[in-house]
Amino acid sequence: MIFNPQTNDQTPVIQMNEYLIFSFDELSNNLTNYNFTVYHCDRNWNKSDLFQTQYLNGYFSDIIRNRSYSFNTLQKYAHYELQFPNQNIIPKLSGNYKLIIYKDSEEEPVLTYKFSILENLANLFIKPERNNNGNNPDLNQRLNIKATIHGFNLNQVLNSLELITIQNNNWNQNISEIKPQFTSINSVSFNPLDIVFTGGNEFHFFDTKENTINGASTQKIERNDFYEHTLYFDEAFPMNYYYTPDVNGAYYFRKFNLGSERDATTEADYVWVLFGLKSPKLENKDVYVVGMFNDYTISDNYKMQYREDGFYELPLFLKQGYYNYEYATKDNLGNVNYSEIDGSFWQTENLYQAFLYVKPWGFSYDALVGYGEYRQPR
């Protein structure tokens, strides 16, 4: 997990004087010596050409010192946590970064986290609206985005200015290479017809913070070697939109026991969660369970299997907590669709995020000079 104390969720964007908390568990009864390092990236998350001395102060790598064992859990694990930036490694430049966790070699990472550091030189204003397209008037949302510049000369960097937008912290759903449509002395506006997303649907959720009491989405709990939570079946292909509250794909580790909240970092257990989707079999397509809990990853680990009695299922071994998730499909050509199963509606509440990059005058890296987000009010 990446946790942002400033936003109280997993949005991995901070300013220079802020920090993120990176954490992970290893399902083992031993503590491992893990190291980490940080790479600067361009706007497309490729490693930049900068030397580490150009974008870091202090050490170039460090060890993870905050380590602890799980307590009173069926699944024994070791918990690792680090704060970044910290007193040993301090970034000097804005932009995109990757934090690499490794044991012996940086070339063989155990985990990779993406995050961004903002040099707040522009204010971004985002307003989503229904995309009144004659063919599909009820499916999509378009974004009106304006940037007010207050920290650099717009004329000097106008040709290198680029906006990238994403939906619900999902970099797999991004619109990039968005150039200004109109400019004035200290502001730029972007063509909303270039920034159109499928509205999607509200996320599904489940809550496993209590091992022995069914949450709102749990139909039964069994105890074998571990607790097993079977969720109510979701229905594919909804015809109409209906609002259900969600946290835009995020998740939170939680443990509730004997009438009180516990420290989920080391006291939350791991449980089997069985997902079920009632649907006819989709020919030449695979179905996946995704969300921020797995970084919207389309892989065999999260691919559902079809049962001949009419539904898809997938068991996942997950830490106790509250999770949002959705279903994605992938066809034989590798095309991924995040709204085929759950439908798409212009009314859907989404988190929209916009990143404004420039190449500073005389430099060859992508600076993040503006960031804005829109969380639709209810």
pLDDT of 153 above 90: no
Q: How many helices (H) and strands (E) does the chain have?
A: 3, 33
C-alpha 140/C-alpha 342 separation (Å) is 14
What pLDDT is attached to residue 33? 96
How does residue 94 score in pLDDT terms, banded at 50, 70 and 90? very high
Across residues 111-135, what is the average pLDDT? 90
In tens, the pLDDT along 235-267 reads 999 888 988 999 999 999 999 987 889 999 999
Tell me the three state secondary structure of residue 302.
helix
What pLDDT is attached to residue 172? 94
**Cα atoms in the 13 Å half-sphere on the side-chain side of 8:** 1
Nearest to 92 by CA among 365, 362, 372: 365
What pLDDT is attached to residue 209? 95
Write b or e for each residue in 205-217: b if 16 or more Cβ atoms lie within 10 A of its Cβ, otherwise e.
bbbbbbbeeebeb
C-alpha 279/C-alpha 341 separation (Å) is 9
pLDDT of 378 above 60: no
pLDDT of 224 above 70: yes
What pLDDT is attached to residue 135? 66
Q: H-helix or E-strand containing 96?
A: strand 95-102
Across residues 25-52, what is the average pLDDT? 95
How does residue 85 score in pLDDT terms, banded at 50, 70 and 90? very high
Across residues 81-92, what is the average pLDDT? 95
Percent of the chain with pLDDT over 90: 82
How does residue 195 score in pLDDT terms, banded at 50, 70 and 90? very high
Across residues 212-226, what is the average pLDDT? 93
What pLDDT is attached to residue 258? 76
What pLDDT is attached to residue 277? 97
How does residue 287 score in pLDDT terms, banded at 50, 70 and 90? very high
CA dihedral 69, 71, 73, 76 (to 10 degrees): 20
Q: Are strands 270-278 and 367-375 parallel, antiparallel or unpaired?
A: unpaired
Domains and CATH numbers, the chain: 2-118 (2.60.40), 122-200+348-375 (2.60.40), 204-337 (2.60.40)
**Eight-class DSSP state of 160:** G
What pLDDT is attached to residue 137? 65
C-alpha 201/C-alpha 246 separation (Å) is 10
Q: Which residues contact 107 (CB under 8 A, 6 or more apart)?
A: none
Q: H-helix or E-strand containing 329?
A: strand 321-331
Across residues 149-155, what is the average pLDDT? 83
How does residue 377 score in pLDDT terms, banded at 50, 70 and 90? low
What pLDDT is attached to residue 283? 93
How does residue 134 score in pLDDT terms, banded at 50, 70 and 90? low
How does residue 160 score in pLDDT terms, banded at 50, 70 and 90? confident
Amino acid found at 353: Q
C-alpha 269/C-alpha 70 separation (Å) is 8
Across residues 147-152, what is the average pLDDT? 88
Other Cβ atoms less than 10 A from the Cβ of 262: the count is: 17
Q: What is the mean pLDDT of the chain?
A: 93
In tens, the pLDDT along 332-368 reads 999 999 999 999 999 999 999 999 999 887 788 999 9
